[in-house]
């Protein structure tokens, strides 16, 4: 088929323009958060009020607000502009993490995709960016929105909160900035955790957060490869962020779990592989994350493959749970 310039331009309008606009709108939202416009739009504000508060030029404010309206972020009621209901929710304090943390981490993730295949990866970005990326992948334990929901999740039999509500010693391999762990520690006061983390800067951030939350006495961070960790005292529960573990590190991490979890203890690992039926937005996110994880040498395990990997490591009763939910896990027990 011979394309003509008009058909190419029409195709650009259909497929390229929406993506370009979305990229720029996301950047504008980050800017509008930094200069305080989003905060002013939450309760609602007029252009003159935003101009006075931000000290930006009135024309610039009007253009920003107009772009936010056209982009579906804000709407107006006569002269007063405010965030739409969904954006009120996204910008508010109830989410699993503050919006700026999500935007910064996602920007780093996008930048890594731009460099995919060049050798630049998770380990070669700046400390600031690596911490931001890690923080955007887990709940913010200081904002703590997840914490009050965890006892109810435990009572409803959600596997990780349920196990954490009765365990005393919890081992997390690849604890990163410890978003989930520090949330669990706040919800379940009997719990103590040892987190093992390869990256020093993420370990620093995990310790800083624990300090802020007054949880240093129940949370220890060990800076090492998961394969090299060993403790004299066994753990009741193990958690393995397997979707960040490169192929060559996996057998060693599983050996550590086998050697350090008590007989009968539970081992859990999250899985991000699509199993069918996910909404388009979720499928797109998973497929883009997979580009990065594949480029870091992390295999894309199906639930069945992860079950088999657990069995090969000597763990028993391996099973996938939570299919189709936000948190799909593979569980197994130490024989």
Nearer Cβ to ligand SAM (179/265): 179
Query: Considering the rule CB under 6 A, would residue 215 count as an interface residue with ligand SAM?
Result: no
Nearer Cβ to ligand SAM (206/332): 206
Tokens found for residue 215? 């949880």
d(CA 54, CA 45): 12
Nearer Cβ to ligand SAM (186/241): 241
State the nearest-atom distance from the C-beta of 252 to ligand SAM, in Å. Answer: 7
Query: Helix and strand tally (H, E) in the chain?
Result: 15, 9
**What is the DSSP track for 111-130?**
HHHHTTTTT--TTTS-HHHH
**Binding map of ligand SAM across residues 119-158, x = CB under 6 A, - = no contact:** ---------------x--xx--------------------
Query: Considering the rule CB under 6 A, would residue 210 count as an interface residue with ligand SAM?
Result: no
Mapped onto helix, strand or coil, the DSSP state of residue 181 is helix
Restricted to residues 74-103, the positions that interact with ligand SAM (CB under 6 A) are none
Stretch that binds ligand SAM, among 15-23, 60-68, 245-253, 280-288 (CB under 6 A): 245-253
d(CA 19, CA 306): 34
Nearer Cβ to ligand SAM (7/126): 126
Tokens found for residue 213? 């939350």
Beta strands (DSSP E) in the chain are 74-77, 80-83, 169-173, 192-197, 219-223, 235-240, 261-270, 316-321, 329-333
Q: Is 332:303 a contact under the CB 8 Å cutoff?
A: no
Total binding residues toward ligand SAM, as defined by CB under 6 A:
22
Query: Considering the rule CB under 6 A, would residue 171 count as an interface residue with ligand SAM?
Result: no
**Binding map of ligand SAM across residues 22-61, x = CB under 6 A, - = no contact:** ----------------------------------------
Nearer Cβ to ligand SAM (65/133): 133
Nearer Cβ to ligand SAM (74/150): 150
How would you class 46 by CB atoms within 10 Å of its CB: exposed for 0-12, middle for 13-18, buried for 19 or more?
A: middle
Per-residue burial over 102-121, b = 16 or more CB atoms within 10 Å of its CB, e = otherwise: bbbbbbbbeebeeeeeeeeb
State the nearest-atom distance from the C-beta of 12 to ligand SAM, in Å. Answer: 37
Query: Whats the size of the chain, residue-wise?
Result: 335
Name the residues that contact ligand SAM, by CB under 6 A. Answer: 134, 137-138, 174-180, 196-199, 202, 225-226, 241, 244-245, 249, 253
């Amino acid at each position: 088929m011979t394309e003509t310039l008009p058909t190419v331009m029409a195709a650009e309008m259909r497929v390229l323009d929406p993506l370009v606009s979305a990229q720029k709108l996301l950047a504008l939202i980050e800017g509008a958060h930094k200069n305080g416009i989003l905060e002013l739009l939450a309760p609602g504000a007029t252009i003159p009020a935003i101009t006075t508060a931000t000290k930006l030029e009135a024309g610039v404010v009007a253009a920003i607000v107009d772009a936010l309206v056209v982009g579906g972020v804000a709407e107006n009621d006569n002269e007063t502009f405010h965030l739409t209901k969904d954006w009120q929710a996204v910008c508010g304090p109830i989410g699993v993490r503050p919006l700026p943390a999500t935007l910064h981490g996602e920007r780093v993730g996008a930048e890594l995709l731009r460099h995919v295949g060049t050798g630049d990866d998770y380990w070669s970005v700046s400390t600031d960016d690596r911490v931001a990326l890690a923080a955007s992948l887990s709940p913010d334990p200081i904002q703590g929105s997840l914490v009050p929901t965890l006892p109810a999740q435990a009572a409803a039999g959600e596997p990780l909160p349920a196990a954490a509500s009765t365990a005393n010693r919890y081992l997390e391999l690849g604890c990163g900035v410890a978003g989930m762990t520090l949330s669990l520690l706040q919800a379940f006061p009997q719990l103590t955790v040892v987190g093992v983390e390869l990256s020093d800067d993420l370990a620093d951030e995990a310790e800083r957060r624990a300090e802020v939350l007054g949880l240093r006495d129940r949370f220890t961070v060990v800076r090492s490869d998961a394969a090299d960790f060993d403790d004299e005292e066994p753990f009741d529960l193990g958690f393995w962020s397997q979707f960040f573990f490169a192929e060559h590190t996996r057998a060693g991490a599983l050996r550590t779990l086998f050697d350090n979890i008590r007989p009968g203890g539970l081992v859990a690992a999250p899985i991000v592989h699509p199993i069918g039926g996910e909404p388009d937005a979720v499928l797109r996110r998973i497929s883009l994350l997979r580009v990065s994880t594949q480029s870091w040498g992390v295999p894309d395990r199906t639930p069945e493959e992860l079950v088999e990997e657990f069995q090969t490591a000597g763990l028993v009763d391996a099973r996938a749970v939570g299919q189709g939910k936000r948190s799909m896990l593979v569980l197994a027990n130490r024989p």
